[in-house]
Amino acid sequence: MFEANYHESLVPNYELPDPLVTQDGAAVSSSDWGKRRAEILSLFETHVFGKTPDQPIRVRTQVMSETESLGGKARRKEIRLYFTDQDTRPYLDLLIYLPSSASGQVPGFVGLNFQGNHSTTPEADVILSDQWMRAKGAGVVDHQATQEARGTSASRWAIERIIDRGYMVATAYCGDLDPDYDDGYQDGIHPLFHSNGAVPADDEWGTIGAWAWGLSRALDYFETDDEIDATRIAGMGHSRLGKTSLWAGAQDERFALVISNNSGCGGAALSRRRYGETVGRINASFPHWFCNNFRQYNENEDACPVDQHMLIALMAPRPVYVASAEEDRWADPKGEFLSAKYADAVYRLLGTDGLDAEDMPPIESPIQSRIGYHIRSGGHNVTDYDWDRYMDFADIHMR
Ligand code: GTR
């Protein structure tokens, strides 16, 4: 039986791979960073998340709705992205709120949600997802959303606060891309790339890879919408979807800013610390999230050629924000902080500031240098406090 370690004294000694030394042992200068970056990205593809196919998919869009919202402060749009020539699944429904006051193209935030777009807002006319839902409760019966599911995740989506600060916010249901269960990749978007029941190879993408692919398709859409400034988009995600926003931002440098909210193991937390959730445990509970090769590092973290500080470093020199919660020990807040800290050297090499902190800051004392970090009180969640800090950070680094 797995028992998580929550004692700092029982964190084993470990040595982290150096993002600034190549696999051949050569020191990396700023002019070599591009090459080293490609090497690290390829290591994450092969050993952690799996390669994303580069076969292009023609995406068709359909405006499903467009209306005033929030008492006229916002305009709301629902845009469906079809990935085949048929009007059938898989497709991705983007729910977009734009500030009415905006003149010109607006910057903003995009992130996937856990429970369907209808869960992020109480507005009764948003499309109620008929897609499979993992969670039980919160208006979900037999894995299907009911009307009672409307707004059940609204506290995690500070839509009105975001609009009030002049940003766009867009979200989509992760299950539109790949339902969150281990089905051998026979639904969602995987079959578009692996036909006739074929499965991804050991170094090819799993579910997180599919979700990250979808965030890039949202960005493709923003590039075609002249109300949105696609060059100033922050990719944001919580928990498994924070692992996803990091992986999307690592692969797709069009994301101007990347936010990891309580992303934990396989996200911002250092795997070698083996504090809270571990690689072995996550691969056992969620065998479909990462590539099969990642299982080689179950109880064998030191053998992995990367650790998660190198995922943060793949954002450099773009602004990146890592957020933890005090009671979220499963996600290892200190391990999340240390990833941010050990990515700092790459930012400095590239001539920007990195993380302006040696040690973990106290609760609710955000650091807003080019690498941002905060730990707030409370548990595993996304709160207004988190969103307010992300907007402060975006004001500094993306406006
Ligand atoms: C947990 C999982 C975490 C985290 C979380 C979530 O069960 O162990 O890695 O992703 O779910 O997504 O809320």
State residue 204's pLDDT score: 98
What backbone phi and psi angles, to 5 degrees, belong to 270? -70, 125
- Cβ–ligand 1 contact at 121 (below 6 Å): no
pLDDT in tens, 96-130: 999 999 999 999 999 999 999 999 999 999 999 99
State residue 394's pLDDT score: 98
- Cβ–ligand 1 contact at 264 (below 6 Å): yes
Give percent of the chain with pLDDT exceeding 70. Answer: 100
Q: Compute the radius of gyration of the chain from its Cα atoms.
A: 20
Q: Which of 247, 330, 332, 382 maximizes ligand 1 atoms within 8 Å of its Cβ, making it the mutation to test the pocket? A: 330
What does the DSSP assignment read for 307-372? -THHHHHTTTTS-EEEEEETT-GGG-HHHHHHHHHHHHHHHHHTTS-----SSPPPTT--EESSEE
Residues 6+ apart with CB under 8 A from 399: 107, 232
Q: Where in the sequence numbering do the catalytic residues fall? A: 239, 380
pLDDT in tens, 38-76: 999 999 999 999 999 999 999 999 999 999 999 999 999
Q: Above 90 in pLDDT, residue 347?
A: yes
Whole-structure pTM value: 0.98
Q: Which domains, and CATH codes, for the chain?
A: 8-397 (3.40.50.1820)
- Cβ–ligand 1 contact at 332 (below 6 Å): no
pLDDT in tens, 212-237: 999 999 999 999 999 999 999 999 99
Q: Which atom of ligand 1 is nearest to the CA of 243?
A: 10
CA of 3 to the centre of ligand 1 (A): 16
Q: Amino acid identity of 161?
A: R
State residue 200's pLDDT score: 97
| pLDDT range class, residue 8, cuts 50, 70, 90 | very high
Average pLDDT for residues 6-35, to the nearest whole number? 98
- Cβ–ligand 1 contact at 325 (below 6 Å): no
Q: Which of 239, 245, 275 maximizes ligand 1 atoms within 8 Å of its Cβ, making it the mutation to test the pocket? A: 239
Q: Which atom of ligand 1 is nearest to the CA of 380?
A: 13
Give the separation between CA 149 and CA 152, rounded to whole angstroms: 6
- The full length of the chain comes to 399
CA of 114 to the centre of ligand 1 (A): 11
CA of 239 to the centre of ligand 1 (A): 6
State residue 210's pLDDT score: 98
- Cβ–ligand 1 contact at 239 (below 6 Å): yes
Spell out the alpha helix ranges (H) of the chain.
33-44, 159-164, 174-177, 190-193, 207-224, 240-251, 279-285, 309-313, 333-349, 384-397
Mean pLDDT (the chain, rounded): 98
Q: Above 90 in pLDDT, residue 1?
A: no
DSSP character at residue 91: E
CA of 262 to the centre of ligand 1 (A): 9
97 closest CA partner among 176, 171, 177:
171
- From residue 104, give the alpha-carbon distance in Å to each of 30, 153, 227, 272: 36, 30, 7, 46
- Cβ–ligand 1 contact at 212 (below 6 Å): no
State residue 360's pLDDT score: 98
- Cβ–ligand 1 contact at 262 (below 6 Å): no
Q: Are 110 and 219 in contact (CB under 8 A)?
A: yes
- Cβ–ligand 1 contact at 78 (below 6 Å): no
Q: Which residue has the tokens 């926003």?
A: 245
Residues 6+ apart with CB under 8 A from 50: 200, 203, 204, 205, 206, 209, 290, 291, 292, 293
pLDDT in tens, 158-179: 999 999 999 999 999 999 999 9
CA of 382 to the centre of ligand 1 (A): 13
70 closest CA partner among 117, 119, 104, 121:
121
| pLDDT range class, residue 336, cuts 50, 70, 90 | very high
CA of 240 to the centre of ligand 1 (A): 5
State residue 180's pLDDT score: 97
